Structures are given as C-alpha cells and as structure tokens.
Structure 1
Amino acid sequence: MDGREFRFAMGNFSTGVTVITTEVDGEVSGMTANAFMSLSMDPELVVISVDEKAQMMEKIKESGKYAVNILSAKQQDLSMNFAGQNKLDKDIPFERLSGVPVIEGCLAQVSCEVTGSHVEGDHTLFIGRVNDVHLEENEPLIFFKGKYRSLSPIEEMVRS
C-alpha cells in the first residue's frame, strides 16, 4: 500500500465539512477540516485533528479554545477559502459564541475549551469541552471522493 492508495481509500468515507476557528491577540484564524467527531455526551466533548505543519496548530495551543463551524451546502466558498484554495474577495463576518469567533450561517457552531491533546503520526488530536452550541436549519455541505456534494434524502433518490 502506498500513501496515495490510502488517501483514495479514506476519500470513500463521506464527511461533513467544518471550519475550525480560534483567536490569538485579536487575530481570528481558521482552517477547513473534515477530521472532526463527537467524543462524549457526558461530559460533552469533541475532537479535531490538526496537521503538525498547519499554522492552526500553534494558534490553538496558544488560545486554548476553538470553535467548530459545521458548514451548510451554501458555504462551499468558505470551505475553499479556509483551505487556501480560493480567497474570498469579501471580509468574513465573525460572530461570538462563548467568546470564540464563529462563522455566521453555519448549520452548527460549537464553542470549545481545549482539555487535552494527543500527538499521533503527523497530526495532533485536540479534545475540546463544549461550552456552547448554536444551531440553524439548512442542508449540509458534504465531501466525498475529493469533491463537494449535497445531501438528498434516499426516498427522493429512489423516485428519480
């Protein structure tokens, strides 16, 4: 098995798309990520995975906080912006959720305080205790086999 084959295999797992945000010295930073999961319901904990070479690594360590912004189907441009693929021509308005910057219009905003980290391979897993959430009704942005997708209910797909 080579790295490319492994990458293609992992691309067969469809995921939602998130932007992780944090703030250090008044400067908001963000990165697109699909390596996010719920860890525990009691207490409420989530996990994000950050590449050791990513600029966000030190920023999250320094701030001790992060937010997970679960993107809607209408926010592909934000995903591409924070992945460094396509810079937006407009400023991105940030709101606050328990003092952490979040992106308006997301399906969910999850504000967290880092409670632990674990280095494994070329990534660090940041465990976050959830301080607050904000939800909005919309369709999710999905990523599958290297492409953005939208979600359709199965019953609609069967009738088509």
Structure 2
Amino acid sequence: MDDNQFRNAMGKFATGVTVVLTEVNGAVHGMTANAFMSVSLHPKLVTVSISENARLLNKIKSSKVFSVNILASNQEEYSRVFSGKLKDDFRIEFDYLDGKPVLPGSLAQITCEVTQEHTEGDHILFIGKVTDTHVEEKKPLIFYGGKYHSLDDK
C-alpha cells in the first residue's frame, strides 16, 4: 500500500485536536498533534507521538516536560498556527499550569513530566506522568477526513 492510501485510511478516524507545548530557555515551542492518548490511571500517564523530523522533538528531549492542550471548537486558529498553516504574525499570551505553558481557553490542559521515550518507526513516543490538569466545559474541535469539524456540525 502506498503512503496516500494509508493516510486516507487513518483520516477516517475522527480525533480531537491538541497542541503540545514545552518551554526551553524562556521560549515556548509547540505543535499541533492528534497522536495523543491516555495510557494509565494508576499512575496517571499519557502519550504523545512526535515525528523524528519535528522541531518540537529536541525541545521536549531537552526540557523533559510538556503540556497537552485539547482544543475547543472555537480554537481552530491555534491548530493552524502550531501546524504551520497560518503564517500571519499571530501573538499568543500563554497561561501557566504547574509551571508549564498552556493555551488559554482550551477544553483541557494536561501538564506532564517525561518518564519514558520510545522510538517506533519515524516517531518518538513520549510517555508523560501527569502533574496537573485543568478542564473547561466546552465543545471539542474535531479533525476528520482532513478537515476540522465540531459537534455542532450538521
């Protein structure tokens, strides 16, 4: 099977949209990701999958911490900024949770300390021990078939 066939098949899985952030030397770095999952309740662990070519990879390796920001339906612009699709000069005022940068207004903010790294294919899986969370009651931003959707879509 070719790459496009595989990508098309994976696009049939509706996911939430997250922005993964970390801070190195006072500068916040981030990327949009949908490869995120809960791993364990005891202890509380999550995983994010980062491409070996992503600029964020070495930032997380250096800082050993990250936050996962689950985007609300009104935060598509954040997703576009952190995926590199919105090139305008977009200014973001970050909030902080447990000393880690988070996106204000996110549906959920999850802060983590890296406990393990696993290389699988062309990605690194970071296992993060959850150090704090903040949740708001909003509708999620959904990604399906290469497009953004919300639960309000008809």
TM-score, normalized by length of structure 2? 0.97
SS of equivalent residue, structure 1 residue 66: strand
RMSD (Å), alpha carbons: 1.2
Q: Give 1:35's aligned residue.
A: 35
Q: Give 1:13's aligned residue.
A: 13
Aligned letter for 1:87? K
Indicate conservation of the 8 Å contact 1:112/1:128, yes or no. Answer: yes
Q: Deviations over 1:35-61 (max 9, x none)?
A: 000000000000000000000000000
Indicate conservation of the 8 Å contact 1:77/1:88, yes or no. Answer: no
Q: Deviations over 1:62-115 (max 9, x none)?
A: 000000000000000000000000135441010111111000000000000000
Q: Give 1:63's aligned residue.
A: 63
Give, in whole Å, the separation in 1 of the partners of 2:3 and 2:90.
36
Aligned letter for 1:82? F
Aligned letter for 2:132? D
Equivalenced residues, count: 154
TM-score, normalized by length of structure 1? 0.94
* Structure 1 residue runs without a partner (length 5+): none
SS of equivalent residue, structure 1 residue 74: coil
* Structure 2 residue runs without a partner (length 5+): none
Indicate conservation of the 8 Å contact 1:72/1:139, yes or no. Answer: yes
Larger fraction in helix: 1
Give, in whole Å, the separation in 2 of the partners of 1:63 and 1:87.
26
Give, in whole Å, the separation in 2 of the partners of 1:85 and 1:54.
15
